[in-house]
Structure 1
Amino acid sequence: MGLREQLESALLRARRRSIALTDCLDDADLVAQHSPLMSPLVWDLAHIGNQEELWLVRDVGGREPVRRDIDELYDAFKHARSTRPTLPLLGPAETRSYVREVRDKSWDALDASRFRGRRLERDGFAFAMIAQHEQQHDETMLATHQLREGPPALVAPPTPAAPGAGVPRETVIPGGEFVMGTSNDPWALDNERPAHRVYVADFAIDTVPVSNADYARFIEDGGYRRRELWSERGWRHRLESGLSAPQFWTGDGGGAWWRHRFGILEPVPPDEPVMHVCWFEAQAYANWAGKRLPSEAEWEKAARWNPASGRSRRFPWGDDEPDFRRANLGQRHLAPAPVGAYPAGESPLGVRQLIGDVWEWTASTFTGYPGFSAFPYREYSEVFFGGDYRVLRGGSFGTDPVACRGTFRNWDHPIRRQIFAGFRCARDL
């Protein structure tokens, strides 16, 4: 498949998903705010179109604006999510018409592009950036669906079963230098760059993510009541927010746990990775287990480093693109697969599910790599450096392959639980 066809496929896949996430709801659900943490879905859809207009229609395509009058409405930095329902937003029908018109003009820009010249256009970066942006908002919209009350609106087949044979509890990662980040992936975003050498000491990392059964044992052992397991900030947040279990879990008083998942109440599957826990909860669990959260560098070395060749791969399994045999990505399912699934996607040292299923909290704060340069705008990454953000790695079942690779970096506040995040532990040797 040529570059133009790859970009067309990525843009089409993103748009099909955006339509699926919005066409399944009536207008009332689209304009409602289902949580103060999230935008109305109709805002997300119009924002997707507005970003595409700014970069592909006006900049790359050199066309006149489709709707210059709405730029400020859909500027994510000018309006907090909690206030967006009060804005004079486009209605659902007008939003759909707008994003269709923008996309038509984007196809013209793609047809005319020669993928060279300015860095923005080289190797189709601008088109790939917009496909990634849309898929990131699609995952945000999927999280809004999870927060939404009412009957189920989404359907998907069940995840594959885990292999019958067990996997080792831990994997040892030898110490030494490896290449972290990338300088040659044409679609990588600015915070993934540049490639640089990092020394990591010997450590052990969990072969699979922490499961619901593992986490239930932490709860049963008083994990939410034991002050010594929590940091000072974490304990304060636990008390102020009344945390006693992962978000969407409900106990029956007899030791059984139930969860709400996209409008369905079901027993918590013991063998799935735990999900909807904040960084403070992950840290407390790690302390309880006598371990810690891995650093971002440790996570990436476990995911990318091949001891046989000494090089860093694009994915744990190699440089080939993800497929259904290797990782749970792209909203193919509506839940993570059981721990131990996807043996074809394991790293050279045997670590599994580093890509897909659940985002994984790391111990690291979000900052730029040595030699970082903002591109194509500071607001994508740089404005978030040095804050209270913790890095997440690996993607979830709701992350599309175009926005997921071994170098991809996500970040969020340590209190966030609505995202599809879990974790695995590490320890020193």
Structure 2
Amino acid sequence: MNDVLRQRAVDALTAARARTAALTSCVDDGELTAQHSPLMSPLVWDLAHIGNQEELWLLRNVAGQQPIRPEIDSVYDAFQHPRSERPSLDLLSPGEARGYAHDVRGRVLDVLERTPLEGRPLVDAAFAFGMVAQHEQQHDETMLITHQLRRGPAALDAPAPPHGTAQGLPAEVLVPGGPFTMGAADEPWALDNERPAHERLVPAYFIDTVPVTCGAYTAFIEDGGYSERRWWAEAGWEQIRQHGIGAPLFWRREGGQWLRRRFGVLEPVPQDEPVLHVSWYEADAYARWAGRRLPTEEEWEKAARHDPASGRSRRYPWGDEDPAETHANLGQRHLRPAAAGSYPEGQSPLGVRQLIGDVWEWTSSDFLPYPGFVAFPYKEYSQVFFGSDHKVLRGGSFAVDPVACRGTFRNWDLPVRRQIFSGFRTARDAG
């Protein structure tokens, strides 16, 4: 069993590093050190931060080794320096950052080979190695967001996703009321905010079969959705008025049609794709306009995991097996969401599609701890973010690697955020 876990950890770490290399080798050093948006770090900061966190957890905490470069710890501490200030720090150069991350990784693989994967919570089932792989993949998604924000010619390319259709599908699915098990029980690399597993009683509700599409969202825009105060939460109305927001981020109206900028390419907005780059406030306003609401976090997870036939909660909508390419649009295989209705093999037992991959889905829920929550291995991962300031997103996006995406995985962000790969689906009460 240890050999299986060890190989799983090696594979996860290797896949993450290959993606990091692809995201940082496709632009020159000047673009790596530039700040493409005050919302994001320079790419070279993320690169060195990945290595620093890997050293901190796997070399120092797991193996008990002395620091390699203790003088850089504060520079790459995400809590000490907001993103807007990071270009002014004494950052490692691209060459130094690559060399440092490479040195750390070589030592980590040696540690992994000889460390017993049991006897301590940090290493049980290779948890710390899985945590670090997830951390790197999360920063890879962050770096992909930076690529979307950067100006200039496209630096990335990928084939289009397989085409599906929502034609013939019901607009919504009834999820019967009753209890279900929410949260992670037997998921060894689940993070602290996914735990513990617990029972939730959820009344019956309807949920959209597919995420809200660009075409549906265009109807909201053209019906004056951004100029009607009644659809908006007070803070959301203030946000769109203050910043002159009238469409999803990266959209613009030109020649009588909506266009979007996607990784350096200007293209017509595809009407059948899930809408992307909308804030929680925009998602909430659309839902109100449509006479519906955003699902709660527990409604989203029940739709994604609950099997009415057996009464158990699955790891994923399609079952317990790891995601395959036929299940979901994950891992940056494609640089866009797939059309609504795609991936029939990935649907839930009730027929809800694309709950995993394509776009992160806003829920109505604040980011709060589950009953019995225990911070592990450090409170800064989740605990410091609990409260009403952050809203929960679920399901992952095309930019998320499978190691950092599962039916229990919880993401969170401020309700104003639009640069993230966020969309949504709506729900309504069944009563």
Q: Normalising to structure 2: TM-score of the pair?
A: 0.98
Runs of 4+ in 1 over 3 A off after TM superposition: none
Q: How does 1:5-404 map to 2 (within 5 A)?
A: 5-163=7-165, 165-252=167-254, 254=256, 256-404=257-405
AA matched with 2:369: G
- 2-side partners of 1:163 and 1:259: how far apart? 21
Deviations 1:180-236 (A, max 9, x none): 001221100000000011111110000000000000000010000111111111111
> Partners of 1:98 and 1:164 in 2: how far apart?
48
How much does 1:404 deviate? Answer: 0.2
Point out where structure 1 has 5 or more consecutive residues left out of the alignment: none
Q: How many residues align?
A: 428
> How far does residue 164 in structure 1 lie from its aligned partner after superposition?
7.5
For structure 2, the 5+ residue unaligned runs are none
Which residue type is aligned with residue 393 of structure 2?
L
Deviates more, 1:400-409 or 1:228-237: 228-237
Aligned partners of 2:255, 2:244: CA distance in 1, in Å?
17
Letter in 2 for 1:115: L
Partner-residue secondary structure (3-state), 1:374: coil
Query: Alpha-carbon deviations, 1:360-387, whole Å to 9, x = none?
Result: 0000000100000000000000000114
Q: Which amino acid aligns with 1:276?
A: H
Q: Deviations over 1:9-42 (max 9, x none)?
A: 0000000000000000101100000000000000
Q: Report if the CA contact (8 A) 2:259-2:269 is conserved.
A: yes
Structure 1: how far apart are the matches of 2:165 and 2:115?
46
CA-based RMSD of the aligned residues comes to 0.9
Question: Is the partner of 1:389 in helix, strand or coil?
Answer: strand
Rounded to whole Å, the distance in 1 between the matches of 2:95 and 2:344 is: 44
SS of corresponding position for 1:379: coil
TM-score (norm 1): 0.99
Distance of 1:194 and 1:263 partners within structure 2: 42
CA positional deviation for 1:114: 1.4
SS at 1:251 equivalent: strand
- Equivalent position amino acid for 2:356 in 1: I
SS in 2 for 1:287: helix
